[in-house]
Amino acid sequence: MITFNLTTILVLAAIAVVVLYFTWPAFRQMLQIKGGNAVSGATKASEKQRHEHQRLTAELNRQLDNVAAAKASATQAEKDVAAAEAQVEKLTGQYKTAVTGNASEDAKNTIAGNIAKAKASVTSKRAAANEAAKIAAQAVEALDQTREALKDFADQIQDTEQKEALTAVLNTAADASLALKNIKDRLSAAGEAARQADTDLEKARAKNDLAQGSDTDREIAQIEKNAAAAAERARLDAELGITSTPPEQK
């Protein structure tokens, strides 16, 4: 006979869930939806916003290297242009020296060719420097705009937190109002109960009075009761030799 302890059952259940997750798309989708809803419901809007702000800030910091590299490339391109222009000036000086020094035609031709190449290099490097400067300016502008957007986002997070705090206060006030209303309702119910008790008491008294007969019957019964009491007192007075003094007539 095969027996399973609790640990074995839990392990088998976990394996079954994993198998269903990867083999049954509908089951996987259901878990994702349920899990997503649970996480979404357990996380405040400001917490989601702050998490996104942190992620974007980290991405911005990573892009700082790219922007710095673009600026460095633009700076280096300007230096390359300056170096190429300096080479043109140097070769131009050499050409002047060659002319005034009666250098050979080959020497002057060689120097002139080098000057042409140097000027072409200046043109090429200037175009590259302009392009690099444009890219660097765009990168810096994008960086500044992103920083400004993140500041606005941070202000929005504060607004959201204030709204959440106000919502919490309103919910607390609403809960308190409902609790007070319940207390008032209970007090009202208790008052009704007390009133009912008074009514029941009056009803019992009336019932007792009615059980003793009408007002005339009660009056006659009282007269008979008083007469019996007077007769008993007369008998006792006679037996004891007590002379009763009649009440003074007004």
Rounded mean pLDDT, 111-120: 92
Examine the fold and report which residue of 105, 139, 158 is the final residue of a domain before the chain moves on: 158
Cβ neighbours of residue 114 closer than 8 Å, sequence gap 6 or more: 91
Place 102 in a pLDDT band, splitting at 50, 70 and 90. Answer: confident
Q: Where does a domain end: 158, 179, 206?
A: 158
Across 22-26, 93-97, 128-132, 208-212, least confident range: 208-212
| Segment 36-50 mean pLDDT | 70
Q: How far apart are CA 60 and CA 150, in angstroms?
A: 9
* 201 and 154 in a common domain: no
189 within some domain: no
What average pLDDT is seen over the chain? 81
Q: Please indicate, yes or no, whether residues 145 and 217 belong to a single structural domain of this protein.
A: no
Q: How many domains does the chain have?
A: 2
Give me the pLDDT at residue 222, please. 79
Q: Is the pLDDT of residue 165 over 50?
A: yes
How far, in Å, CA of 124 to CA of 119, rounded? 9
Q: How many CA atoms lie within 13 A of 50 on its CB side?
A: 10
Considering only residues 215 and 138, tell me which one the structure prediction assigns the higher pLDDT: 138
175-198 tens-digit pLDDT: 888 887 887 777 777 777 777 777
> What does the pLDDT look like over 48-80, one tens digit per residue?
888 888 888 888 888 888 888 888 989 999 999
In a domain, residue 51? The reply is: no
* Domain encompassing residue 80: 64-158
Are 161 and 46 in contact by the 8 Å Cβ rule? The answer is: yes
